[in-house]
């Protein structure tokens, strides 16, 4: 796992994301936003399902932002690996804490 590389201008492969790709990412995000607002305003009384749907769409947007705008898709794998650790950690914190409350009620 020796990552020592002599210092270059970038230190990683220079991949230039085109303006078009950024615009497409933006459109995708807008569509997801429209979806989430529509589900909420017109979607009605789904309660838990509404929360889960909203979180799912939000997470979809987050993944798009992270992979494309934040360049994770094209960066070295170590960055994605580190982010996974953070995500898993947070999910377990939330799950264990929520479990306590759900069982108590």
Partner 1 sequence: MNMDTTFVLPNSGHNRDDMSSKMGMWLFLFTELLLFGGLFLVYMIYRFMYHEDFLEASLELNVWMGTINTVVLLTSSMTVAMSITAMQKGNSQLSLRLIWVTIFAAGIFLVIKFFEWSAKFEHGLFPGMEHYGHLANGERLFYFLYFFMTGLHALHVIIGGIFLLYVIRAIQKQKIRKDKYMLLENSGLYWHLVDLIWIYLFPLFYLIN
Partner 2 sequence: MSTHATTPDLTFFQVAKGIRSWIFTLDHKRIALLYFYSIVAFFLVGVILGFLMRLELIAPGKTIVEAHTYNQLFTLHGVIMIFLFIIPVVPAIFGNFFLPIMLGTDDVSFPRVNLISWYLYILGGVMALLTLVVGDGPPDTGWTFYAPYSVKTGTNVSLAVLAAFILGFSSILTGLNFIVTIHRLRYPGMTFFKMPLFAWSLYATAWIQVLATPIVGITLLMIVAERAFGVGLFDPSIGGDPILYQHLFWIYSHPAVYIMVLPAMGIISEIIPTFSQRTIFGYKAIAYSSLAIAFVGYFVWGHHMFTSGMSGPARIIFSILTFLVAIPSAVKVFNWVATMYKGSIDVKPPMLYAMAFIFQFLIGGLTGLVIGALATDVHLHDTYFVVGHFHYVMFGGTGFAFFGAIHYWFPKIWGRMYNVSWANIAFTILFVGFNILYFPMLILGMMGMPRRYYDYLPEFQFLNMISTVGSWILIIGMIIMIVNLINGYRKGAVAPRNPWGGVTLEWQTKSPPPLQNFDKAPEVSEHGPYDFK
Could you tell me which of 55, 72, 69 has the C-alpha nearest to residue 25? 69
| Of residues 29, 98, 21, the one with CA closest to residue 58 | 29
Instruction: Please state the closest distance from residue 53 (CB atom) to partner 1, in A.
Output: 9
Q: Which of 16, 41, 44, 86 binds partner 2 (CB under 8 A)?
A: 86
Examine residue 43 and tell whether it contacts partner 1 (CB under 8 A): yes
Q: Is 87 in the site for partner 2 (CB under 8 A)?
A: no
- Compute the distance between CA of residue 44 and CA of residue 57 in angstroms, rounded to an integer: 17
Smallest separation, CB 10 to partner 1 (Å): 5
Using the rule CB under 8 A, which residue among 83, 88, 92, 99 binds partner 1?
Answer: 83
Q: How many CB atoms lie within 10 A of CB 56?
A: 11
Asked if 55 interacts with partner 1 (CB under 8 A), we say: yes
């Amino acid at each position: 796992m020796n990552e020592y590389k002599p210092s270059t201008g970038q230190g990683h492969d220079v991949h230039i994301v085109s303006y078009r790709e950024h615009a497409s990412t933006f459109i995708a995000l807008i569509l997801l936003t429209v979806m989430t607002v529509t589900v909420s305003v017109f979607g009605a009384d789904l309660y838990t399902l509404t929360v889960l749907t909203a979180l799912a769409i939000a997470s979809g947007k987050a993944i798009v932002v992270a992979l494309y705008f934040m360049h994770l898709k094209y960066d070295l794998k170590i960055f994605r690996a580190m982010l996974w650790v953070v995500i898993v950690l947070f999910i377990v914190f939330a799950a264990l804490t929520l479990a306590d409350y759900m069982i108590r009620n």
